[in-house]
Structure formats: C-alpha cells, structure tokens
Structure 1
C-alpha cells in the first residue's frame, strides 16, 4: 500500500513537472503564435497562369513563412496597378515595364526590384476565319489596354507585320483574358492576345493560333515587381521578406511542377495537361526565372521602344535608372544562409 502511494505521488510529481514545463514553454511560444502577420497587399492586372507564382506563394504557404498576409488585388491594367501603388493602397505592383517608365518619367517615385514575367508568354488567337496576321487587316482586335502592357506589345507585334494603328485595324478595350475570350467566341472581335496556355484551349475549340509574341519580340521584359521607393526604403525588411518568398516559390515551382500544376489547374480553371505545357514553356523560355530576377537586356529593349514612342529622348538612360536590385540581392543572401 505504501509503495503504491509512493508511486502515485511520484506520478503526480512527474505530471506536475510536465505541466510546469508546458506552462513555461507556452509563456515563450504563445506570443509568437499570437503575433499577427503583417498585412502586405499587392496588385496585379491579370489572374492568368503567367501570374500563377503569386497565387502559389499565397496559397501554398510561402508568404506565411515570411510572416506576410498578402491579399492579391486584380486590377484592370498596369496603369491602375501602379496608381494603387503610388496611392499606398498596395505595397508591390506587378506591372509592365513600359508603364513603369512612363510613370517614372512623369515623376512617380517607383522602381522595379525583380521579374515576374520575363518575356512575352502571349499568343495571338484568331476567330475561325482568321488564320494569319494579314487576315486581321481592317478588323477589330480585342485588348486589355490601348497604350500600355498587353496593348503596347500587341501594337508592336502588329507593326512588325506591316500594320499601323489606327490605319489598319481597330482596337477594342475589353479587359481581362476571360472577357476577351468571350468577345472572341461571340464574334465581337477578330482576334486577341491570350496568355499561354489559353491558346491551346482556344485551338481545341476550333480557333486559330496566329502567332506567338515572343517570335517577334524575343527579348522583352514584360512584368516586374515594382515598389514605391520612399516606402520601400523605410520598410526594407518587409520588401526583402516578400522577395525571399517569391524566390523560394519560383524554385519550388521549378522543382515540383506536378504538385504546382495540381494546384494551379484548379486555381486558374485549366487542365493539368495545359498547366504542364505552359510551365514547361515558361521555364524553358526563361519567362519565369528561378531566382525571381529580371532580364536587364529585356528592360533595355523596353527603353528603346519607349523612346520610339516619344516618351524618352536621346541619350537613352541605362536600365539601372529604373532598377533597384538591392532587395533581391539581400533576399538571395539571406536564403543562402539557411
């Protein structure tokens, strides 16, 4: 009996000790668990697969690891995306280089810090009676914007095929890729640019792939991460954490394509097969960069083209005028330490 009481007492002591250790541990752990993530809204202009890394980072936990709560706000075109950034409504804008240059030259306090879409992953899709660029002469073509982003690239591609706007065709500002696709299927427009792999989806439904933008504009930095300089300098640790999340996301997507496509196919409402095709296309053509870096030569191309539009004058600036690579460099250095 006495031995039983001793054993019971020892058991109580061990349980009490364990309880004390648990309380002590929770004293240190609870604040960390209770600590709220930093709200870090970002803006982008098209929820398509090309922008997929943003949703992977948000939904697969890569932003969470950096203590960031990242709402992704889809806006209609790069100009609005940059306006939201300069108004402090977002902390990062995913927008086109031509829009950044135009805004910068008008006095916007912005800079690009990395690359999301490092090339033109766009294809020109035509209605069933339009099989080549020549067939588009005199027709109405759908676009997301008239003078920037996709619309800017569209006009350049058509110009390379001998067509000038508005002499040879009309542009109808429709908006997002799904809206443009609806306009195409209804016959409202003759053709429209769509992001890979939507051209494959369209082809399966009897539409024609007229051409790929990258064939006409092979060295073109399309979409970048943009920050407001003054805000970013005051909040450098947050920007670095954001870029760390994007680097880790890009590396994970490159090394885990099947898992990534299993998620993205549902998020973007495409088949796994089409996602595989697009991912292979984007990584093979370096449209997606493993380190979330941008293509400096591609930025130089945009500077030259922007100058041809009359926005810049000779002597043309170097890309460094519009780029701050310090955030990405710090992110890569911190990742390398782990």
Structure 2
C-alpha cells in the first residue's frame, strides 16, 4: 500500500503542476499599430513595464503602415486589435460591412502634427502660408483632414491659397522636405524636433493645439472579435489605462528612458522634447473613454474636408462599456 501511495503522489503532483501551467498561460493578442511614433508613448510604457503581462496577455506588436492596411488586417483576422485613426472605422462602416470595426479605447486625443517652416519666422501668422509650397499629408487621413480644418479656421483656403503637395507617401514626406520640397511641412514628433536640432526647419505652430480634442488614434477590433473576446479586450484596456495614468504624472525624461528601446535610432534628448510637447498640449488621453462630443468633432472635421462618407452614429461603432468598466473599477 505504501509503495502504491508513493508512486501515486508524484503523478498527482505532475498533474497539479500541469494544471497550474495551463491556467498561467498568457493569452496572445496580435496588435497592429499604423506607425511607430512617440505619439503612442503610453502603449510602449504598457509593454515595457509589463502591464499587459500582469493582465495575462502576451501582446505581439507589429507596425502596419497605412490605415487601410490595418483595416484589412483586422477584417481578415490577421490582427486582433488595431491602433489607428478612428476615421478608418467610419470608412469601413460606410461600406456596409457585416462585421464592422468597433472603437473601444482611445489613446490620443489631439492631432499629433506640427507645422514646420524651412525658414525661421518671427511672430508667425497663418497668413505667412499664402502662396507657399505646402507639403501635406495623405488625402483622407486624419493629419491631412485636421491640417486643412485648422488652415480654414485661420482663414486659409488650402486649395486656393497654397500650392498643396499631397502626392508623396507618408514614409517619404520628411525626406522630401530635407531634399528641398516645400516651404512648409506637417510633421509628427520626434521628426519635427529632429529638424529643429539639425537646422532643417523651425516649428511655428501645433495642429493639435489649434484643432481641439478629437479621437485621433484609437484601439479598435472587429465586432466579432469583441463579442468573443470581451474579457481579453477589457484586460488590454486596463493595461492601457494604467499606462495613461502613468504618463500623466511621469516626467518626459522618465518616459523617454522607458520607451527608448522602440526608438533605437532617436537621440534620447529628442524623445524628451517630443514627449514634453505632447504632454504640454494634452495629446495623451487621460483615460480610454471615447466621448460623443469628440466623435462629433471628428465627423465635423471629416465633413469639412469632404471626406465624410456617411453620418455614422456614435453608438453604432463605439463601445464605451469596456472603458467605463475599467475606469470605474
């Protein structure tokens, strides 16, 4: 009897440990970001500080340039969650998708681009743009739409008052400006600060400060994914919310040190100055809740740009329950 008992105990122990291992396995989440940007600093904080792992998630990050490509990845199931401009979900919904893309957690709440001039300008006025060569962003994307919205708000007709250049791919805009194209360019950080440091350009205005709050970049997933993986989406949002809270109180130097592995080619001082600019204009959302008034502002900007394909109701492609659950815990 004793011999049988001694043999049985190791088997029971192995079974117990195996059971624990299964319970402790991380849930894989394939995350597609539309670009690598210091504008998404809270996301990299959540990755580096282990917030996702603490929620039981193994987040697999990949960069997929182009909002349309992120949508294709989500709709095909190649990615689970996308970080991209919320306008893309409107484009998909307007096409009558059977499995619409749902916005469930906001990351940034202002435009992230800055107006950079080739020559220094004292006491800049938007009238200084009249007659200039303006190197803008891709037609139909948030940077372009917000940029044109701000110009119009300041009395500039982009089509009439400027020579508007929009035939250059997003990835090549900065290098085109360096090579001599354009008198002004619309750029994200840290490239804008890099241009200032290198003497290539001068930051004269912030489109984020000028345009007000909009759901600029948002985490989204297909309706079917959220229905089948609500707990995973909630855990994901909880990790992002922790990072958003961290960002609100941490210094630019502390944040830059944490996210530096994602920007190996950028000098740490540039990351610090970029984060400082975004913090100063409240670009990083304080929580993941996408509110209806900012959704209406987004549609107004799209409509002004002639890019709103349909008046998609807020409640049809925005899920607030996940964010509200996390915030109220």
TM-score strictly above 0.5: yes
Retained in 2: the 8 A contact 1:300–1:318? no
What is the deviation of 1:48? 1.2
Aligned pairs, how many?
A: 313
* Corresponding residue number in structure 1 for 2:112: 121
Are residue 332 (structure 1) and residue 311 (structure 2) matched?
no
Q: Deviations over 1:240-286 (max 9, x none)?
A: 11111111222233344443321224422444444344434434433
Retained in 2: the 8 A contact 1:98–1:148? yes
* Corresponding residue number in structure 1 for 2:204: 210
Q: Deviations over 1:41-95 (max 9, x none)?
A: 1222221101122222223322222222222222222222222212222111212
Retained in 2: the 8 A contact 1:78–1:149? no
The TM-score with structure 2 as length reference comes to 0.81
What is the deviation of 1:211? 1.2
Match of 2:262 among 243, 267, 276: 267
Shift in CA distance, 265/310, structure 1 to aligned 2, threshold 3 Å: closer
What is the deviation of 1:23? 9.4
Shift in CA distance, 199/22, structure 1 to aligned 2, threshold 3 Å: farther
The SS at the match of 2:166 is strand
Q: Deviations over 1:298-320 (max 9, x none)?
A: 2111122333426366xx66533
What is the deviation of 1:228? 0.9
Retained in 2: the 8 A contact 1:123–1:211? yes
Q: Deviations over 1:201-247 (max 9, x none)?
A: 32222212231102431232211111211221111111111111111
Separation (CA, whole Å) in 1 of partners of 2:31 and 2:215: 20
Shift in CA distance, 33/310, structure 1 to aligned 2, threshold 3 Å: closer
Shift in CA distance, 285/307, structure 1 to aligned 2, threshold 3 Å: same
Largest Rg, 1 or 2:
1
* Corresponding residue number in structure 2 for 1:41: 30
Shift in CA distance, 180/297, structure 1 to aligned 2, threshold 3 Å: same
Unaligned runs of 5+ in 2: 1-7
Shift in CA distance, 216/182, structure 1 to aligned 2, threshold 3 Å: same
Shift in CA distance, 293/204, structure 1 to aligned 2, threshold 3 Å: same
* Corresponding residue number in structure 2 for 1:247: 241
* Corresponding residue number in structure 2 for 1:291: 287
The SS at the match of 1:216 is helix
* Corresponding residue number in structure 1 for 2:308: 311
Structure with more relative contact order (C-alpha pairs < 8 Å, separation 6 or more): 2
Separation (CA, whole Å) in 2 of partners of 1:285 and 1:23: 60
* Corresponding residue number in structure 2 for 1:225: 219
Separation (CA, whole Å) in 1 of partners of 2:272 and 2:299: 33
What is the deviation of 1:122? 1.7
What is the deviation of 1:143? 4.1
Unaligned runs of 5+ in 1: 1-19
Match of 1:159 among 152, 163, 175: 152
Shift in CA distance, 73/28, structure 1 to aligned 2, threshold 3 Å: same
Shift in CA distance, 146/259, structure 1 to aligned 2, threshold 3 Å: same
Q: CA RMSD for the aligned pairs?
A: 3.1
The SS at the match of 1:40 is strand
Shift in CA distance, 75/192, structure 1 to aligned 2, threshold 3 Å: farther
Retained in 1: the 8 A contact 2:80–2:221? yes
Match of 1:107 among 96, 100, 106: 96
The SS at the match of 2:83 is strand
Separation (CA, whole Å) in 2 of partners of 1:265 and 1:229: 34
